[in-house]
Structure 1
């Protein structure tokens, strides 16, 4: 069961969101202020944060920046009635998604699932694939042969984690692109292919003959476990 730290001081909205997400199988730790959440040990075992911007005391922007600094591997989803582009840009400097009020519960749930997948929160803690080992909780990948860490860019890591969340499953280019970039895939776009090529150069023994990330011609890619 995934744990969500929910920070909201509006009781009506808070009760509605908490009840809906609990029915969907999440464990909700509800805080009425950001200061309360920052002082609680639950953050050490939280999988995702839902943070309202308009809070009494320190606002959501301030709280979110502190959380991202202290817990960089925990995704933050901002909720706000503010719809201006300036507010969104300010929030997205540290947050991983921004949802404006009012919102439909299904959209909130969908965005949560996307963030959990993107941050690799839905797979086991340690994965071994041939010569590499992925420590999911630490967001680190090691080459067992050289005993060195493999450093990936953010997008390379997100692509790899998404593939690992679906072991042995053929994923289309559209599925991968839309999960990682969170925007529609345009036929003919080479962005994903370029990222896959650079990713292979880092994790494959022989990038020209990949053993970890397979190309399924005409469809997409697959990681076999």
Structure 2
């Protein structure tokens, strides 16, 4: 069952949307403000976020969520229809729906995001001896059956690779997606994390076959 983190302060709308999503088979975590959103986002496969919230506005909450969980898609909801508002939301959100909306449209947009991120939400993937269970958010060494435990940043980096299969990713792309900050030339932070990641995943970290180095360009994970 896919879990949606739903952030909406309007009790009537929130109750209606939550009930409709649950009737369609989703598990819903409903918050009426964004104050605790970061604490719950790791439990969710997708976020539906209203712009007009008490306290922190939806744009601020969305930016924090994307920084904390860059692999989790965000769908913005707003009564605002101006192009500037939409562009501001789409700087971090994956889709933007204006109110009022029909529940079928909302679920159709949700389904599109799940398909776009589908591999990292519901499927299994084998990379050599490493088996990835996306829906369970875990990895196993198939030779031994032992679970491979990654740190938060290691997990975010690896999931970013898996969302972009067979694509050569630059250090700048990876760093800015995971840390949410501009990459500074000469910063070794990402290289250190990838080295530790390889030590956990590769049969021979000195000759990596899962996370390949493409000399002069960046890194790639083939699927």
TM range (shorter): 0.5 to 0.7
Match in the other structure for 1:109: 90
Q: Cα gap change, 1:61/1:82 in structure 2, threshold over 3 Å: closer, same or farther?
A: closer
State the SS of the aligned residue for 1:73.
Answer: coil
Q: Partners of 1:214 and 1:83 in 2: how far apart?
A: 41
Q: Partners of 1:34 and 1:158 in 2: how far apart?
A: 32
Determine which of 65, 72, 76 is the counterpart of 2:43: 72
Contact 1:140 1:150 in 2 (8 A): yes
Spell out the pairing of 1:46-195 with structure 2 (5 A cutoff).
59-61=32-34, 64=37, 68=40, 72-74=43-45, 76=47, 79=51, 80=53, 82=55, 104-113=85-94, 121-123=117-119, 125-195=123-193
Q: Cα gap change, 1:106/1:184 in structure 2, threshold over 3 Å: closer, same or farther?
A: same
Q: Cα gap change, 1:147/1:219 in structure 2, threshold over 3 Å: closer, same or farther?
A: same
Q: Partners of 1:42 and 1:201 in 2: how far apart?
A: 44
Query: Normalization by structure 1: what TM-score?
Result: 0.63
Match in the other structure for 1:220: 218
Deviation at 1:107, TM superposition (A): 3.0
Q: Partners of 2:87 and 2:23 in 1: how far apart?
A: 26
How many matched pairs? 185
**Superposition RMSD on alpha carbons, in Å?**
4.4
Gaps of 5+ in 2: 96-109
Gaps of 5+ in 1: 11-29, 52-57
Q: Partners of 1:174 and 1:62 in 2: how far apart?
A: 30
Deviation at 1:3, TM superposition (A): 9.6
State the SS of the aligned residue for 1:192.
Answer: helix
Q: Partners of 1:166 and 1:68 in 2: how far apart?
A: 25
Q: Partners of 2:178 and 2:190 in 1: how far apart?
A: 10
